[in-house]
């Protein structure tokens, strides 16, 4: 069983609890900019900055950090989006973290979880997310299409995550506009930025906003994935461990050599 299989089993076990009661969070009424538009129109590499307390690969990363303070620092430093890990059993996150962050910032907010059912999307929306993540490896084509359509109909944007070229094709087939390649192998936890380069070479449309996820630690890493074609990066651990979040984040905001969207 891979870690992804284990996480999905956990998610399945949580569904009855979610289905038993309607989501109830303090209302979030903000209108946020579109992540897709930001990615497609900016000349700098955009940073999706993650609130990540712990992970299966690293254990505890930063359990003491206040999500609102961290998210506010990210926003001040120019993040394009805040990613909030809401998965509890493996990442120590929660929908309450998401709701608190959504109340505090005006930029897009990504609910980073392992979605297998529409009810989870209802919770993400109610808690204040404007973007959700769908992981191709965790879903059949039918599930992927159904959850994608369900989210878009709720006015959510969707970051579709892929690990290889076959998954890229599946993401393209459902009309995904924002596609992220996860540089972390979910079986071995090895991280290699060359994955971004390999998969970028198979992108056929310039209308797709292409993101590189995981294992971005410094400006050299940002330059590598930007040169490969990434318009944005999704960064968790390196920012959570940084003593100077704003400087660490700003170091990643490199100028893109070709105007994105062209």
Examine residue 163 and tell whether it contacts ligand LARABZUK (CB under 6 A): no
Q: Is 186 among the residues that bind ligand LARABZUK (CB under 6 A)?
A: yes
> Shortest distance, CB of residue 254 to ligand LARABZUK, whole angstroms?
17
Give me the sign of the Cα torsion angle 186, 192, 194, 196: positive
Spatial distance between the Cα atoms of 202 and 92, rounded to a whole number of angstroms: 35
Q: Is 259 a catalytic site residue? A: no
Stretch that binds ligand LARABZUK, among 23-31, 66-74, 142-150, 228-236 (CB under 6 A): 228-236
The residue whose two tokens read 């890229």 is: 168
Does the footprint of ligand LARABZUK cover residue 182 (CB under 6 A)?
yes
**42 within 8 A of 51, measured Cβ to Cβ:** no
SS (H, E, C) 62-73: CCCCCHHHHHHH
Site string for ligand LARABZUK, 31-50 (x = CB under 6 A): -------------------x
Catalytic status, residue 112: yes
Residue 80 contacts ligand LARABZUK per CB under 6 A: no
Q: Is the dihedral of CA 163, 218, 113, 151 positive or negative?
A: negative
Q: How far is the CB of 26 from ligand LARABZUK (least distance, A)?
A: 26
Q: How far apart are CA 208 and CA 231, in angstroms?
A: 10
Q: Which residues contact 5 (CB under 8 A, 6 or more apart)?
A: none
Q: Per rule CB under 6 A, is residue 55 in the interface with ligand LARABZUK? A: yes
Catalytic residues: 50, 52, 112, 161, 182, 213-214
């Amino acid at each position: 069983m891979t870690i992804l299989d284990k996480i999905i089993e956990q998610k399945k076990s949580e569904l009855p609890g979610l289905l038993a009661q309607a989501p109830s969070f303090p209302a979030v009424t903000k209108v946020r900019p579109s992540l897709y538009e930001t990615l497609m129109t900016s000349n700098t590499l955009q940073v999706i900055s993650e609130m990540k307390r712990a992970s299966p690969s690293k254990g505890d990363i930063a359990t003491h950090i206040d999500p609102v303070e961290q998210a506010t620092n990210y926003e001040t430093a120019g993040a394009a989006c805040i990613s909030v890990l809401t998965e509890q059993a493996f990442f120590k996150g929660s929908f309450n973290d998401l709701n608190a962050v959504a109340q505090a910032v005006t930029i897009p907010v990504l609910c980073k979880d392992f979605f297998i059912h529409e009810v989870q999307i209802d919770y993400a929306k109610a808690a204040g997310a404007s973007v959700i993540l769908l992981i191709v490896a965790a879903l059949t084509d039918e599930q992927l299409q159904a959850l994608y359509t369900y989210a878009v109909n709720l006015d959510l944007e969707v970051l579709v995550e892929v690990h290889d070229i076959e998954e890229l094709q599946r993401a393209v087939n459902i009309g995904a506009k924002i596609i992220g390649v996860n540089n972390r192998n979910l079986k071995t936890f090895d991280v290699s930025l060359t994955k971004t380069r390999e998969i970028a070479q198979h992108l056929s449309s310039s209308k797709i906003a292409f993101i590189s996820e995981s294992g971005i630690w410094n400006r050299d890493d940002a330059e590598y994935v930007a040169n490969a074609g990434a318009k944005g990066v999704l960064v968790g651990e390196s920012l959570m461990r940084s003593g100077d979040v704003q400087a660490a984040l700003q170091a990643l905001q490199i100028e893109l050599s070709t105007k994105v969207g062209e």
